[in-house]
Amino acid sequence: MIDELMKRKKLTPQEQIIVQYINEHPDCITHHNAKELAKLMYVSPPTIIRFVKKLGFKGYLEFQMTYIQEHMMFNQTKDRYIDEKSSIQDIIDILPDIYYHVFIETKKLTKKESFVRTVNYMLQAKQIDFYANDNNYAEVQSACLKLSTIGIRAQAFNAVNTAYLNAITPSETLALVVSHSGNNQTMVNAAYELRKKRIRVIGITGKLSPTLELICNESLYIDSYAHHLPFGIMLYGISIHYIIDVLYTSLSFKKKITYK
């Protein structure tokens, strides 16, 4: 994640020095605090703090902890990859490891309080609407089917329907908008229109771009990082699936569904 964020952000010359140093000394974050790192890089400690906040972290400690986790995960999985030389047996053996990596990355991004609030919103709503397009649309269609089995009304849209929005009661409706990048313009526009109608909006999104999450009332984060390529399309779905299943499982018990 951090590597992707550093590639996507527009950096100042001093911030570029920080990125270059990290790339040349990948263990430096593990061993040094912000003040020590600033001295090694010949920049000021406030420059380090501004840099990590630009990447979306609250402070250096959160950045350092995330970096250490990702660095460890990278070292554990760097030799477990699939390419054109991989045999069927290689794929059978390695794919579960890749899936596991996605689940762990997604779990690291979860905030329990956001899930608790979202589940409560879903229980209070009379209608739940999912917005997604492309491959994400199939995931939200599946979510609607699951929710229907526990008595929750849900439907999927791939764009805003103005006539529909004018006909519903905003206070009774909850919308979940999905974009793995966070800057899918159709989904950003959908979230904006929904908020204008005073409908509560939950984003299911990656952290590579804050565009969607800034519009939404709440955000649940998925693993959407390019280091999973060429399996990105497949793995985004797994991450979204995980988020939806956490919600569905919690709702199932709260609705007191008895499984046979």
Taking 80 as the threshold, does the pLDDT of residue 76 lie above it?
no
172 Cα distance to chain centroid: 26
- SS3 label, residue 182: coil
Q: Average pLDDT for residues 237-253, to the nearest whole number?
A: 93
Q: Kind and range of the H or E element at 19? A: helix 13-24
Distant-in-sequence, close-in-space partners of 13: CB < 8 Å, separation ≥ 6: none
The residue with greater pLDDT, 181 or 159, is 159
Its pTM stands at 0.74
> How far apart (Å, rounded) are the C-alpha atoms in residues 36 and 44?
10
- Whether 70 contacts 57, CB under 8 Å: no
The backbone region for 14, taken as left when phi is positive above 0, alpha when psi lies in -120 to 50, beta otherwise, is: alpha
Q: Taking residues 178-202, report their average pLDDT.
A: 94
**pLDDT-based confidence at 220, cuts 50/70/90?**
very high
Q: What pLDDT, in 10s, does the model give residues 15-71?
A: 888 989 988 998 899 889 999 999 999 999 999 999 888 887 888 988 888 787 777
**Distance in Å from the first CA to the final CA of the chain:** 41
- pLDDT higher than 80, residue 233: no
Q: What's the CA gap between 228 and 235, in Å, rounded? A: 7
For residue 54, what pLDDT is reported? 86
> Percentage of the chain surpassing pLDDT 70?
87
pLDDT by residue (tens digit) across 104-127? Answer: 888 988 899 999 999 999 999 999
Interhelix angle 60-77/45-54, nearest 10 degrees: 70
Length of the chain: 260
- Distance, in Å, from the CA atom of 97 to the CA atom of 200, rounded to the nearest integer, reads 37
